[in-house]
Amino acid sequence: MRAVNLPARAGWQWVSGGFAIYRRNPPVLSILVISYWFVVVFLNLFPFIGALAASAVIPGLSVGLMQAARNIERGQSANIQTLFSGFRDNVRTLIALGVLYLVATLAVLGLSTIADGGDLLRYMLASSRAERALLEEADFTLSAMLVAIFMVPVLMAWWFAPVLAAWHRQPLGKALFFSFVACVMNWRPFLVYAVGLMLVAVVLPGLILGLLLIALPALQGFATLVVMVTMGLVVAPTVFASFYVGYRDIFGISEIV
């Protein structure tokens, strides 16, 4: 595997490239993203085993969305079967990636107990609003900062790992290693990319919501609904497509092996 070291401006190009792919077929990409969410939410309805199952299938579903973005970019068809196409190859590694990511995330949350005695971990694992309400007065500032810091290397190792496992038949260790190295090499574009996502997914929707609330103060619920629908049907598909653009730019556009 060879990863290309890109300039910082590439990070914004991933965002704009994701939107360019979305514009080619908005309905299909939006439906696939909604289907992805439906599967994950449905599995999480089952206590404990549901969270494990959802974590296990997320890498394969993510590869399916990247395959859909790839197909749309090339003018090829994409449908609901494309969403599950990621499970055609190296399934064991994809499932292992999902389960291991859950374990790594829980381990990082476990480290937060050093700062708050376990309040954040209990809040994240709470199964009801009543349980969360009991912890809402707790100060999560320091523990949240620790989680954010320790989650960065975890995210770097898993960012490209699913697609490397599915499209390049990489075993678990190599997929994680090459993903981590690619992210380290391209920390500048990833920093720009993070800022771009913040603008597109947080600042812009917040600005639109604020303007709608000023223009339509009596329709607060409607304004919120408009922004949420826009996030689900435009922003989210753009973000998922941008994942593929980042992979394509860093690892090249060679045929899937």
Quick one: pLDDT band at residue 218, thresholds 50, 70, 90?
confident
Quick one: pLDDT band at residue 133, thresholds 50, 70, 90?
low
CB 60 within 8 A of CB 94: yes
Choice between 252 and 138, residue whose per-residue pLDDT is larger: 252
Read off the DSSP letter of residue 205: H
Q: What is the pLDDT of residue 137?
A: 66
Full residue range of the structural domain in which residue 21 is found: 10-251
CB 119 within 8 A of CB 138: yes
Cα R_g (the chain), whole angstroms: 19
What are 157-167's pLDDT values in tens digits? 999 999 999 99
Residue 31 has pLDDT above 90, yes or no: yes
Read off the DSSP letter of residue 232: I
Residue 172 has pLDDT above 90, yes or no: yes
Choice between 76 and 228, residue whose per-residue pLDDT is larger: 76
Quick one: pLDDT band at residue 125, thresholds 50, 70, 90?
low
Residue type, 204: L
Q: What is the pLDDT of residue 243?
A: 96
What are 32-63's pLDDT values in tens digits? 999 999 999 999 888 889 889 999 999 999 99
Q: Is residue 2 part of a domain?
A: no
- The domain tally of the chain equals 1
Q: Which residues are CB-contacts of 125 (< 8 A; sequence separation ≥ 6)?
A: none
The reported pTM is 0.88
Residues 254 and 248: their CA atoms lie apart, in Å, by: 9
Q: Is residue 52 part of a domain?
A: yes
Q: What does pLDDT average to over the chain?
A: 88
Q: Is residue 4 part of a domain?
A: no
Q: What is the pLDDT of residue 39?
A: 95
Residues 169 and 158: their CA atoms lie apart, in Å, by: 15
CB 245 within 8 A of CB 17: yes
70, two tokens: 């790839």
Choice between 5 and 122, residue whose per-residue pLDDT is larger: 5
Closest of 63, 30, 31, 58 to residue 42, by C-alpha: 58
The conformational region for residue 75 under phi > 0 = left, psi -120 to 50 = alpha, else beta, is left
Tell me the backbone φ, ψ of residue 200, rounded to 5 degrees: -75, -40
Q: What is the pLDDT of residue 143?
A: 79
